[in-house]
Amino acid sequence: MIAPRRFLPSIQSLLALEAVERVGSVGAAAEDLALTHSAVSRQLRILQDQLGVELFRRKGKGLSLTQSGVDYARSARGCLQDLARASLKLRAAGSQASLNLAIRPTFGMHWLVPRLRDFAQLHPEITVNLSTRLAPFDLASEGFDAAIHFGEKDWTGMAYMPLATERLIPCCHPDLLPQGEGVAGLLSKPLLHLQNRPGAWEEWFERHGLCAVHLRGMLFDQFAAMAEAAALGFGIALLPDHLAERYFTEDRLRPAWPEYTVAKGQYYLVWAPLQTPGRPLALLLDFLRQSR
């Protein structure tokens, strides 16, 4: 249910308040919005009168936002951004149905997107929108139909479809290749680490019979950035097969160990099971089941 009209200010008023908070003055906001100074001031007065809360105070010839005005402007910014994103998605899809997916950057681009090409050929009436996410988020509040999840089935309240396991292999620039030193030889080289995989190297060494603790080295937030650093000779990276093999083909990286190791956890497509999936998501689920 939508709130009563008296609690819903106009878009023009919210844009004026957001701009003043963001750029710091009415004059700068007027320039940012391509409006006159008086037009921005008028929208602020209308908004303040409608809400019945002091949003700004006169300060000489100018004005400054109160803390209430600042807080409201920041909340309004999120709503305006959500509305803009929804409008952009609608405009991009046109009369087509749309499917909004949150993806893991590397797996999404190297494993999922090539498969989506075939899906798009089968269903040209569906526009698939992709957004990358690394930190936890809420599907419903961000408007996603489904998301890629890695790990265990620990995303509460979600339906799961297994997509793929992950095979990892140490990779490095040819100049850093260990010289016949076995597993321990990797410890003599700089090791690169991924923020959302703490302990990945320790686990890898343990699986190969060596206890290695408190390992240090450069830290990255994405596999792609870590792979590039490894290709430039910064250290050895533990990379998934769908990324490593591209670098092997280009001869930018070499395996620092001859075998892949299956990582703990799995890639899943997850979605809210509270209602029957819409047609675009249902078609994608059927497509992925058949293509596994």
Predicted local confidence at residue 268, as pLDDT: 96
| Token duo for residue 125 | 């009436």
pTM exceeds 0.75: no
Q: What number is the average pLDDT over the span 74-97?
A: 72
Q: Is the pLDDT of residue 100 over 80?
A: yes
Average pLDDT over residues 195-209: 92
**Mean pLDDT highest for which of 7-11, 24-28, 80-84, 174-178?**
174-178
Residue with tokens 């878009």: 11
Question: Do 72 and 17 meet the contact criterion of CB atoms below 8 Å apart?
Answer: yes
Tokens of 222: 């994405």
Residues of the chain with CATH 3.40.190.10: 95-163+266-291, 167-262
Class of the domain covering 95-163+266-291 = alpha beta
Neighbours of 249 (CB within 10 A): 9
Q: Tell me, what's the pLDDT at 275? A: 66
Q: DSSP character for 170?
A: E
What does the pLDDT read at residue 141? Answer: 79
Report whether 238 contacts 169 (CB < 8 A).
yes
Give pLDDT, residue 168: 96
Q: Which amino acid is at 273?
A: P
Q: What is the pLDDT of residue 5?
A: 64
Q: Which CATH architecture has domain 167-262?
A: 3-Layer(aba) Sandwich (3.40)
CA-based radius of gyration for the chain:
26
Q: Where in the chain is the domain with CATH 1.10.10.10?
A: 5-90
Percent above pLDDT 70 for the chain: 93
Q: Which residues contact 253 (CB under 8 A, 6 or more apart)?
A: 171, 172, 173, 227, 230, 231, 237, 239, 244, 247
Q: What pLDDT is attached to residue 161?
A: 95
> Kind of pairing, strands 261-262 and 237-240?
unpaired
Return d(Cα 158, Cα 140) in angstroms, integer: 11
Residue-level pLDDT at 92: 57
pLDDT computed for residue 78 by the predictor: 83
How confident is the model at residue 95, as a pLDDT?
Answer: 46
Residue 285, pLDDT score:
94
pLDDT at 277 exceeding the cut of 70 = yes
CATH top-level class of 5-90: mainly alpha
Q: What average pLDDT does this structure show over 106-129? A: 92
Query: Please, what is the end-to-end C-alpha distance for the chain in angstroms?
Result: 41
Grade residue 56 by pLDDT with cuts at 50, 70 and 90: confident
Concatenating the DSSP letter of every residue in 74-124 gives: HHHHHHHHHHHHHHHHHHHHTTSEEEEEEE-HHHIIIIIHHHHHHHHHH-T
In 3-state terms the chain splits into helix, strand, coil percentages (rounded to 5) of 45, 20, 35
As a whole number, the mean pLDDT across the chain is 88
Please, what sign has the CA dihedral across residues 46, 52, 53, 59?
positive
What average pLDDT score do residues 104-128 get? 92
pLDDT at 59 over 90: no
Of residues 143 and 288, more confidently modeled: 288
